[in-house]
Structure formats: C-alpha cells, structure tokens
A = this chain, B = another copy of it.
C-alpha cells in the first residue's frame, strides 16, 4: 500500500513527489514521460533561478534528484483509477496498485489528433468507455487511439456493441473489428456527431470514444466522476478534487500555464496530503 501515487511526470507531479519523499512518505511516480516540457523541449525563460534552460533538462534534473532520494518512478500509463474500500486502486498497463492518495499532475492531455473535439463534447464524443459506453448499446461506435489505453477501452466497449470501428495508427490484429489505419480524424455533424472522416473516407457512427495516450482530464473526470469546469478539474483550496483522496494540480486544474505555478501546486499538494496523513 502506497501513501501516494503521483500520476504525471511534469512540474506538478515531480514537485509533489520531491516534497512527499522529504516528508518521509511512501510515494510512487507513474509517468509515461509525456510532460509537455520534455515533449516540446521548450526553452525556459521565466522560471526563477534558471537561465535559458530547456524543458527536457529541467525534467531530467528532477528525475535524477528523485532517483538520489530513492523515489520509485515507473514508465507506465495509467488506464483507470477505482475507489475500493476507502482506498484507491490505480490500474496501469502493467499492474494494479493500492494507494491512500492520488495526485493528478496530468497536464492538458487532450487528443490533438482529433480536430474540433470541444464542439462535440457530450454530443457524441467520450473519453471514458466505462462511463458513457452504455449509452451506445448495440449502436455503431468509433474508437480512436493507440496502445494499451485503446485496448483497455475496447475491453469495456466490446460487451456493449459488436459494431465497433477502430481508428488507430497501431498495427492491430483484431479480426472481430473493422480497423481503419489512420493517424488523425476529422469530426462531422451539425448539432451532434454524425460521422468521422479518415483518409478522405466518411464513416457514419453514433459515437466516438477517444483513447489516445492516457485518460487525461476528461477521461479521469468521467471515470471517477470528478467535477469539471471549463474542461479543467475543479479543486478546493487544498487542491483536493471532488473526491477528497484525489488531488490535482498544474495545467489540468486551469489557471496560468507556467512551471512556477505547476510546481507550486505540487508543493502545496504535498503539504496538504502530509497533513492528512499526520491526522490519520
């Protein structure tokens, strides 16, 4: 049983992990190394104390520090989080782990490969098979995505309908389903989603599930029932989400998109969780 599992390898998650370890808490970091800082290797100009560093270096420095401190960091994709008997079970592409608290430092993880997503949110687009799948009982579903997260969502959807079109850049062999190889998708429909366009061909569908990289803000919010506002996770003054054992910080809770802010969020979350562990 971990005290805290941190989901995300950006400034919020790694800052939270650093402080939690210093508070002598059992903390595990799950990061698919997709922090935007590293992905885009951004030049860092505004962050106090560093001069013209790049994003990759900041992440690598902190990862090296966490290793020195003895913090376990695993390169795993989180597929789901489930509440069980007052604890949280975190399901990754490799294992299933119990923890008392979870920190979501998941960034702004919308699929950029599907255009115009905002227009159809709640109108045919879903990021969560377990939450919304049942609305499409025996209907025609599109599933866009890749990797373990795609397969995880498919596992849920296959019991709801057998009319599933899989849009993916992966080389998949799943004879029961129609697989359309594509790297991106366009959405069509006047009020609600009616069809998707891939490789210049139109596929009429009733709903599209996006399972790209990891659940992200909308996926976790849907799966867990976290309150959202303007597509950001709502947190209280102590950074607890509407589920009080799940904390969130950084870009996924909105506000200024700056390292200074995200690392501050992570630090404050560590203080808040440490206080709650002290009070147990």
Contact = CB atoms under 8 A, between A and B. Distances in A.
B263 A267 contact: no
Interface stretch (A14-22, A90-98, A128-136, A140-148): A14-22
Contact of A19 (B46, B53, B62, B68): B46
A259 to B, nearest CB: 7
A172 interface: no
B62 A51 contact: yes
Contact of A261 (B52, B62, B64, B264): B264
A138 interface: no
- Chain A contact patch, size range: 20 to 34
A19 B64 CA distance: 29
Contact of A48 (B22, B51, B266): B266
Contact of A263 (B44, B48, B57, B68): B48
15 contacts: A15-B260, A18-B46, A19-B46, A45-B65, A46-B267, A48-B259, A48-B263, A49-B49, A49-B57, A49-B61, A49-B62, A50-B58, A260-B267, A263-B264, A264-B264
Interface of A: 11, 14-15, 18-19, 22, 44-53, 57-59, 61-62, 64-65, 68, 256, 258-261, 263-264, 266-267, 271
A258 B267 CA distance: 9
B11 A49 contact: yes
Name the residue among A50, A53, A258 with the largest chain B CB count within 10 angstroms: A50
A53 B15 CA distance: 16
Ranked 4 nearest A-B pairs via Cβ = A49-B58, A48-B263, A264-B264, A51-B61
- Chain copies in the assembled complex: 2
Contacts of A58: 48-50
Nearest to A12: B48
A51 B64 contact: yes
A234 to B, nearest CB: 18
Given A49-B59, A50-B61, 10 more contacts: A18-B46, A22-B46, A46-B267, A47-B49, A48-B263, A48-B266, A49-B57, A50-B58, A51-B62, A261-B267
A45 B49 CA distance: 13
Given A267-B260, A271-B256, A50 B48 contact: no
A256 B61 CA distance: 23
Nearest to A15: B48
Given A261-B264, A264-B264, A267-B261, A14 B256 contact: no
